[in-house]
Structure 1
Amino acid sequence: MAEIKYEITESLGALSESGKGWFKELNLVSWNDREPKYDIRDWSPEHEKMGKGVTLSKDELRELKKLLNNMDL
């Protein structure tokens, strides 16, 4: 299996912390030297390991923001 190359170009914030000390974070991440995208996933404290997550373009993030703004939380 090919190695996945990633670079967190901007850390935007942590959403939560697990009991194991991992953080669910929103970051701007460049995957395999591509244009950075918005990314929500679990990361180990030093960002050497990651869990499954979701990657969003700027347009997708805008649509998510609209949906969240319309929710009654």
Structure 2
Amino acid sequence: MADIKFEIEKELGVIAESAKGWKKELNLISWNGKEAKYDLREWSPEHEKMGKGVTLTTQELKSLKELLNKIYL
């Protein structure tokens, strides 16, 4: 399996933290040197390991925000 290179350009916020210290975060990440996208996934304490996540373009994040604003919580 090829190495995946990433650079966290901006840490936007933590949504949750597990008892083992892993954090579910929203970040702006450049994957393999490409344009940075919004990324939501779990990270180990020092960002050396990551869980599965979802990567969104700016337009996709805007659409998600609109959907979330319609939900009554």
TM normalised by structure 2 equals 0.99
Residues 30-50 of structure 1: per-residue CA shift (max 9 Å, x gap) = 000000000000001110110
Matched, 1:28 2:28: yes
d(CA) in 2 for partners of 1:22 and 1:68? Answer: 25
Residues 36-71 of structure 1: per-residue CA shift (max 9 Å, x gap) = 000000001110110000000000000000000000
**Considering only aligned residues, what root-mean-square deviation do their CA atoms show, in Å?**
0.4
Cα distance, 1:8 vs. partner?
0.2
- Ranges of 4+ aligned residues in structure 1 off by more than 2 Å: none
1:57 corresponds in structure 2 to 57
Matched, 1:6 2:6: yes
Letter in 2 for 1:39: D
Structure 1 residue runs without a partner (length 5+): none
Cα distance, 1:19 vs. partner?
1.4
d(CA) in 2 for partners of 1:43 and 1:34? Answer: 21
2:67 corresponds in structure 1 to 67
